[in-house]
Amino acid sequence: MSVLDTIRDRLKTKHPTLRYTESNGSIVVHAPMPGGFEVSINEGLVVGYDGWHEQFDAEDKALDCFAFGFSDQCRLKVTLRGKLAYKWTLESLVDGTWDEESTTGLLFFPFWRAARIEYRQNNLLTVSPYGVLSDAE
């Protein structure tokens, strides 16, 4: 079963209300709530959260990262200049503190505009004390 087949199966069986689109070997799950972000994955094992992305060399790690995008332990710090988002930082909650993990950004952006930061979170799944993802209630 391919990574896309696995995602498609999980979406249909565990989260049938989530809206998603498929095209060109990728699946994009639309933000499940206001203030959330889209989560994507492709056949090349690239996982994306809006503008942030990372490539993986193993399907299980890509699937874990994809699911992490919906957890209460994950948020996206989005930096904008004017209305243009140009930098996305993945943050994870560790011992009650948000830690920055990695950043993806654009090379060209309107640097003369004032910067502002938005935090986006999907908060659809909860992480148990044992690190297991389950549906949020």
pLDDT tens sequence across 6-61: 999 999 999 999 999 999 999 999 999 999 999 999 999 999 999 999 999 999 99
Q: Which of 20, 47, 68 corresponds to the end of one domain? A: 68
Rounded CA-CA distance 43/33 in Å is 26
CB 103 within 8 A of CB 50: no
> Which of residues 25, 50, 68 is at a domain's end?
68
Please check whether residues 83 and 29 belong to one and the same domain: no
User: What domain count does the chain have?
Assistant: 2
The first and second tokens of residue 29, run together, are 């799950």
Residues 35 and 21 in one domain: yes
Supply the range of the domain harboring residue 87. 74-135
Amino acid at 13: T
Q: Are 60 and 19 in contact (CB under 8 A)?
A: no
Distance, CA of 26 to CA of 94 (rounded, Å): 30
Verify that 11 and 46 share a domain, yes or no.
yes
- List, for residues 46-71, the tens digit of each pLDDT value: 999 999 999 999 999 999 999 999 99
pLDDT of 130 higher than 50: no
Residue 105 has pLDDT above 60, yes or no: yes
Whether the pTM exceeds 0.95: the reply is no
